[in-house]
Structure formats: C-alpha cells, structure tokens
C-alpha cells in the first residue's frame, strides 16, 4: 500500500507542476502578445522531457499480500470456530452441574 500512496502522491505532484508550467506559459504568451512578439506554440506536456511519465507500481506485491491475508483470516476463522464450540459445550456442562 505504501508504494501505491507514494505513486499517487508523485502523480499528483507532477500534475500540479504541469498545471503551473502551462499557467506560466500562458502568462508568457500574453506578455509576448503585449510586446508585439509572436506567441510561443502550445505544447503537449505529455511529451515534454521535463515531465517524464511515472511508472505505476507493480500489482503483484499487493495481490500476494492480499492472498496471504485472506489465508490468515481463514485460518483464524477455523481456529476460533473450533474453540467457540468447545467453549459453548463446556459452559453447557458447567450450567448443568449447578
């Protein structure tokens, strides 16, 4: 889970940087138009070398951990159901003795 949250945070940061870059570019183009210069062409930030794509984390790790947790839960459920039945049987015998 930690890798996924790190990925989400990094992706959010990068998107924020892209928005700031585009905003600065618009301001620069507005200034160039006021000065009588040609505006800079619009850029696609996905192909910009400043914003390299962030690789998504592997899903295999989380799949393995999830499977392991499911197995632990199954074992705990089986163990506790056996012990609860023993507990109820013992409490029934104990109440019968009183």
In terms of domains, do 49 and 69 share one? no
Separation between Cα atoms, residue 7 and residue 86, nearest integer Å: 48
In terms of domains, do 50 and 63 share one? no
Predicted pLDDT of residue 16:
94
How large a percentage of the chain has pLDDT more than 70?
90
What domain range includes position 88? Answer: 58-98
Residue partners of 78: CB distance under 8 A and separation at least 6: none
**Residue 44 burial (CB count, 10 A):** 6
CB 57, CB 3: distance < 8 Å: yes
Tokens of 52: 């390299």
Separation between Cα atoms, residue 54 and residue 11, nearest integer Å: 7
- Say which residue, 15 or 98, is predicted with more confidence: 15
Question: What are the tens digits of pLDDT across the range 46-90?
Answer: 677 778 888 888 888 888 989 999 999 999 998 888 777 777 777
> How far does the chain reach from its first CA to its final CA, in angstroms?
53
In terms of domains, do 62 and 78 share one? yes
pLDDT confidence band for 23 (50 / 70 / 90): very high
- pLDDT for residue 97 is more than 80: no
In terms of domains, do 51 and 80 share one? no
């Amino acid at each position: 889970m930690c890798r996924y949250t790190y990925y989400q945070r990094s992706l959010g940061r990068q998107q924020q940087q892209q928005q700031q870059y585009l905003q600065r570019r618009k301001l620069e183009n507005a200034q160039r138009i006021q000065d009588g210069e040609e505006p800079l062409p619009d850029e696609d930030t996905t192909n910009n070398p400043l914003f390299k794509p962030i690789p998504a984390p592997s899903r295999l790790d989380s799949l393995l951990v999830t499977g392991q947790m499911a197995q632990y839960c199954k074992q705990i459920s089986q163990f506790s159901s056996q012990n609860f039945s023993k507990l109820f049987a013992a409490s029934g015998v104990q109440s019968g003795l009183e």
